[in-house]
Amino acid sequence: MEFNNNKVCSKCKKEKSFSGFYNKSSAKDGKNSQCRDCRLDYVRNNRESILATRRKYNSKDTTRRKTNARNHGMTIEEYDNFFAVRNYQCEVCGMTQKESYRLFNVDLCIDHCHTTGENKGLLCNVCNPAGGMLKDDPDLAFRLWRYLERTRRKEN
């Protein structure tokens, strides 16, 4: 049986390699039906509509907070307190909850240990993936910091 690494875009009808499509876990082949170019064009042309839909979804605040609290093993009171104790700010860069909504239209993230499941802190949508990319390794983060310090001095 021969495996075909190509797919036809449902919008432009062009055949492209799988790398030309975004991943979509719910699709049979694991790829979006529209190619990257068509999807990007759609997002650019419908930005306000997409943001309005997100805002409407995120406005279901109580339900979302209850779900998030449950997903992190907390009661709604513990969840609210977790944010309040941290002044509703990212513990790395200081981004506030309001800024997070304005920029990303989402809550700040509750960072947790993937081994123990223990909730560690509150991070924004920039700092949270950065920590993951650094494998939550303080030594690796320190080496990156040293590199940035060293190269910054060279630029001046």
CATH topology of domain 60-133: His-Me finger endonuclease fold (3.40.1800)
Structure-block tokens of residue 155 = 């630029």
pLDDT tens-place values along the chain, 156 residues long: 456 789 999 999 999 999 999 998 888 988 999 999 999 999 999 999 988 888 777 666 667 788 889 999 999 899 999 999 999 999 999 999 999 988 888 889 999 988 888 999 999 999 999 998 998 899 999 999 999 998 987 655
Residue 11 DSSP class: T
Using DSSP's 3-state secondary structure scheme, residue 105 falls into coil
Give Rg (Cα) of the chain: 20
Count of helices and strands (H, E) across the chain: 7, 6
119 near 82, Cβ under 8 Å? yes
For the chain, the structural domain boundaries read 6-45, 60-133
The Cα angle at residue 77 between residues 74 and 83, in degrees rounded to 5: 85
Q: Read off φ and ψ for residue 111, nearest 5 degrees.
A: -75, 140
Distance of CA 137 to the CA centre of its chain: 20
Per the confidence metrics, is the pTM higher than 0.75?
no
